Amino acid sequence: MGDIVVDGRGVTVYHFTKDSAWPMKTACTGDCLKKWPVVATLAENAVAGVTAKGFVTFDRPDGVKQQTIDYRPIRTFAGDAESGDTSGQGVGETWYAVSPDFELIAVST
Protein backbone atom coordinates (compact mmCIF):
# COMPACT_ATOMS: atom_id res chain seq x y z
CA MET A 1 0.00 0.00 0.00
CA GLY A 2 2.98 2.31 0.26
CA ASP A 3 3.59 4.64 3.20
CA ILE A 4 0.66 4.68 5.63
CA VAL A 5 0.03 6.39 8.95
CA VAL A 6 0.13 4.18 12.05
CA ASP A 7 -0.53 4.93 15.70
CA GLY A 8 2.03 4.63 18.51
CA ARG A 9 1.56 0.83 18.60
CA GLY A 10 2.18 0.52 14.85
CA VAL A 11 -1.50 -0.11 14.13
CA THR A 12 -2.91 1.20 10.83
CA VAL A 13 -4.86 4.48 10.96
CA TYR A 14 -8.03 4.90 8.89
CA HIS A 15 -10.37 7.65 7.74
CA PHE A 16 -14.14 7.27 7.34
CA THR A 17 -15.25 8.99 4.15
CA LYS A 18 -18.58 9.96 5.74
CA ASP A 19 -16.72 12.26 8.17
CA SER A 20 -16.16 15.86 7.15
CA ALA A 21 -13.14 18.11 7.52
CA TRP A 22 -14.69 21.53 7.81
CA PRO A 23 -16.61 21.88 9.89
CA MET A 24 -15.14 18.82 11.58
CA LYS A 25 -17.94 16.28 12.01
CA THR A 26 -18.00 12.55 12.55
CA ALA A 27 -20.54 10.02 11.34
CA CYS A 28 -19.00 7.25 13.50
CA THR A 29 -20.83 7.20 16.82
CA GLY A 30 -22.30 4.62 19.18
CA ASP A 31 -21.57 1.02 18.15
CA CYS A 32 -19.36 2.24 15.30
CA LEU A 33 -16.79 3.31 17.90
CA LYS A 34 -16.46 -0.28 19.16
CA LYS A 35 -15.15 -1.36 15.75
CA TRP A 36 -13.37 1.90 14.92
CA PRO A 37 -11.76 3.36 18.09
CA VAL A 38 -10.64 6.97 17.92
CA VAL A 39 -6.96 7.84 17.79
CA ALA A 40 -6.27 9.70 21.01
CA THR A 41 -4.76 13.15 20.81
CA LEU A 42 -1.01 13.40 20.37
CA ALA A 43 1.50 16.18 20.74
CA GLU A 44 2.61 17.29 17.28
CA ASN A 45 6.26 16.84 18.26
CA ALA A 46 5.48 13.19 19.15
CA VAL A 47 4.67 12.36 15.53
CA ALA A 48 7.14 11.78 12.73
CA GLY A 49 6.44 11.72 9.02
CA VAL A 50 2.96 13.27 8.82
CA THR A 51 3.22 16.00 6.22
CA ALA A 52 -0.45 17.03 6.00
CA LYS A 53 -1.62 20.14 7.81
CA GLY A 54 -4.58 20.11 10.16
CA PHE A 55 -2.96 17.93 12.84
CA VAL A 56 -5.37 19.13 15.52
CA THR A 57 -7.66 17.80 18.23
CA PHE A 58 -11.32 17.29 17.40
CA ASP A 59 -13.81 17.64 20.27
CA ARG A 60 -16.43 15.01 19.45
CA PRO A 61 -20.09 15.54 20.40
CA ASP A 62 -19.77 12.67 22.91
CA GLY A 63 -17.00 14.52 24.78
CA VAL A 64 -14.14 12.31 23.55
CA LYS A 65 -11.10 14.10 22.13
CA GLN A 66 -9.91 12.69 18.83
CA GLN A 67 -6.82 13.29 16.71
CA THR A 68 -7.21 14.58 13.16
CA ILE A 69 -4.98 14.83 10.12
CA ASP A 70 -5.95 17.37 7.48
CA TYR A 71 -8.78 18.27 9.89
CA ARG A 72 -10.30 14.80 9.33
CA PRO A 73 -10.90 12.47 12.29
CA ILE A 74 -8.75 9.32 12.31
CA ARG A 75 -9.31 5.90 13.88
CA THR A 76 -7.91 2.41 14.16
CA PHE A 77 -9.81 -0.81 13.39
CA ALA A 78 -10.58 -3.31 16.16
CA GLY A 79 -10.05 -6.14 13.68
CA ASP A 80 -6.38 -5.26 13.21
CA ALA A 81 -4.80 -7.59 15.76
CA GLU A 82 -1.17 -6.53 15.38
CA SER A 83 1.19 -4.06 13.81
CA GLY A 84 1.03 -4.14 10.03
CA ASP A 85 -2.52 -5.49 9.77
CA THR A 86 -4.75 -3.65 7.30
CA SER A 87 -8.00 -5.62 7.56
CA GLY A 88 -10.02 -2.39 7.85
CA GLN A 89 -8.86 -1.24 4.41
CA GLY A 90 -11.80 -0.65 2.06
CA VAL A 91 -14.46 -1.87 4.50
CA GLY A 92 -17.86 -0.82 3.16
CA GLU A 93 -16.01 1.20 0.54
CA THR A 94 -15.90 3.98 3.17
CA TRP A 95 -12.88 3.16 5.40
CA TYR A 96 -9.38 3.75 4.06
CA ALA A 97 -5.86 3.84 5.39
CA VAL A 98 -4.19 7.22 4.92
CA SER A 99 -0.78 8.31 3.69
CA PRO A 100 1.40 10.84 5.57
CA ASP A 101 0.07 13.62 3.31
CA PHE A 102 -3.50 12.41 3.95
CA GLU A 103 -4.20 10.82 0.63
CA LEU A 104 -6.68 7.96 1.06
CA ILE A 105 -5.17 4.63 0.08
CA ALA A 106 -7.70 3.43 -2.49
CA VAL A 107 -6.39 -0.13 -2.90
CA SER A 108 -8.36 -2.85 -1.11
CA THR A 109 -6.41 -5.68 0.48
* Domain encompassing residue 10: 1-109
What's the pLDDT at 107? 64
Q: Going by C-beta distance under 8 Å and a sequence separation of 6 or more, which residues neighbour residue 82? A: 10, 11
* Count: domains in the chain: 1
DSSP lists the bridge partners of residue 33 as none
pTM to 2 decimal places: 0.87
What's the pLDDT at 95? 96
DSSP lists the bridge partners of residue 66 as 58
Q: How much is the average pLDDT of 34-49?
A: 80
What are the tens digits of pLDDT across the range 45-101? 666 677 777 888 889 988 899 999 889 999 999 999 899 899 999 999 999 999 988
